Structure 1
């Protein structure tokens, strides 16, 4: 983990494979869930971690190591290593889509995630050239308390910025938005709406970090918003077209979030949004079944999103309930990403 402090965007495939192997070896010996799996399957890790990273990824999924989301949500303590000596904090997911899940992070991972975000945002979007030298980042961030607050705080402070973090109750909000519309959501979030308006009318806010539906709160102040960072299933071509027309001159940055690994940085390419995981702690490839086995799709093809979250404090192999395209390395990222994620599995 310490190596990531110097090479957050310079991770090689060989180094990633070696890192993954050590993480699996550790959890197979120390973590209740993975100890049971190792005893049941008796995998040969030396053999499994031969070949390319794609081959290793396929092998891990074909070995039957995937964790069901419902089991992960109900048995989160099974994934904590015995006698782990790091600094663990348990967090809840936002709960916008379904019942909140509980997961844990080591404090060191917040540092690793911050280094990845800072390096990617500066390289792709040049934020270090916009803020500083007398021009201060002044931010409103909306979101649930937990890892998200730590992540966004560290990021804003690293630019010398100041932050208004406005916590929000997010249980079931996506269902309300889908069934009742934005006005119903804003009624539930009335304290957030009032506080946001109060701050915007008083301070010189130039940066916002929020969910797609809540960007409407900033429309009256669009001329002052220099940077808008958004994430969520509503981030698509139509939404960004609306943002570009409404917030002329605003730098728009898409992120992809999940409660066990935080945010991933996205870029806009060929009318799509491509996201790149923070290697080596998060590995993502779209998969499809061929003759009964999982195979990573070719670049440009769509498959079901497979995720490996591999850190000293937590190991999870799982499918997400969405599909995405496999996309090639782009910009500062030396590894493949995934693009145009959608929840429609049909």
Structure 2
């Protein structure tokens, strides 16, 4: 399987991917990795169920079957054995990325270069349909952006996004290893001391250029408050996103469109919607599937809408297949806006 076929057929309209296509794609990815990928080849030899048994029913049934078949990968094993998840003789162009380390020990995952294109298509369509960015930024009104974040997928993703609007980007890389713990235990000033070069460069750019879009984390939005009148869009991701924070931010950035994203090193950013007092995030089907799960009578089942459960993730792409529980809980959110599938809301992550 390859991304050429995916981009030509399956992903012409990413917000219209239906359940039938998702199941067909998911089955194909499983078959590919069970034959080609070292870790999954070993699992296939010892698996009590076969894929025909697992792929019975609708998408939610299959999701539950996958987790109930014991296919979830242990977090520590994944962190220490990432090469086991690369298909043998894979023909694509792979780059290894590391997680940010903001909340726990860093992990390593890989992307095919074409996945960046897939992710970009999803982000552009979702951001334009929900937040109308294509109506704000054009040849007459150029996007002038600044972004804080870790090097790697984050830098590649935001660069491609800004350039697609004809914009220019100041990217300020930052090391975030253990930053959440410092912020929680010692406060904002201690966190900013660690990020002193970022703080200085941000001020320098904001004083010289007329930035109209910022991408940053909640604690760092304070750096942009003196320039709030010129900032039209603020894209925010990371720890600290909640209703109270957005209420306060809305008062300080009165004419700014605030956009929440959920970022993860294995799949990039997911677009969020502020709904009432909650934040709902929607995976980029069929490559990323996420449902909150609960354990009932020694079996995992997807929680009802509005209920909270432990986050289960399936990352299914030609270059990688990962099934895992996240050290995080979230509520199950119904379809909203342009999304025709369930999302997850108000994630609460543990530090480790």
TM range (shorter): over 0.9
- Contact 1:139 / 1:208 at 8 angstroms: preserved in 2? yes
Unaligned regions of 5+ residues in structure 2, if any? 1-5
Between the aligned partners of 1:61 and 1:127, the Cα distance in structure 2 is 38
Note the aligned Cα RMSD (angstroms): 1.1
Aligned length: 345
- Which structure 2 residues correspond to residues 227-306 of structure 1 after superposition, within 5 A? 227-306=233-312
Cα deviation, 1:266-315, whole Å, max 9, x if unaligned, reads 00112100000000000000100111100001111111110000000000
Q: Does 1:159 align with 2:165?
A: yes
Between the aligned partners of 1:288 and 1:146, the Cα distance in structure 2 is 33
Unaligned regions of 5+ residues in structure 1, if any? none
Q: Does 1:27 align with 2:18?
A: no
Cα deviation, 1:99-130, whole Å, max 9, x if unaligned, reads 21111000010000000000000000000001
- Contact 2:217 / 2:239 at 8 angstroms: preserved in 1? no
Equivalent position of 1:326 in the other structure = 332
- Which structure 2 residues correspond to residues 84-163 of structure 1 after superposition, within 5 A? 84-163=90-169
Q: Does 1:208 align with 2:214?
A: yes
Equivalent position of 1:36 in the other structure = 42
- Contact 2:180 / 2:239 at 8 angstroms: preserved in 1? no
Between the aligned partners of 2:298 and 2:48, the Cα distance in structure 1 is 21
- Contact 1:143 / 1:149 at 8 angstroms: preserved in 2? yes
Between the aligned partners of 2:184 and 2:193, the Cα distance in structure 1 is 15
Equivalent position of 1:61 in the other structure = 67
Equivalent position of 2:23 in the other structure = 17
Between the aligned partners of 1:4 and 1:235, the Cα distance in structure 2 is 33
Equivalent position of 2:3 in the other structure = none
Between the aligned partners of 1:272 and 1:82, the Cα distance in structure 2 is 42
Cα deviation, 1:69-89, whole Å, max 9, x if unaligned, reads 111111000100010000100
Equivalent position of 1:50 in the other structure = 56
SS of 1:9 mapped into structure 2: helix
- Which structure 2 residues correspond to residues 62-77 of structure 1 after superposition, within 5 A? 62-77=68-83
- Contact 1:324 / 1:341 at 8 angstroms: preserved in 2? yes
Give the Å deviation of 1:335. Answer: 0.3
- Contact 2:206 / 2:227 at 8 angstroms: preserved in 1? yes
Equivalent position of 1:192 in the other structure = 198
- Contact 2:139 / 2:166 at 8 angstroms: preserved in 1? no
- Contact 2:11 / 2:17 at 8 angstroms: preserved in 1? no
- Contact 1:4 / 1:112 at 8 angstroms: preserved in 2? no
SS of 1:223 mapped into structure 2: coil
Equivalent position of 2:232 in the other structure = 226
Q: Does 1:309 align with 2:315?
A: yes
Q: Does 1:182 align with 2:188?
A: yes
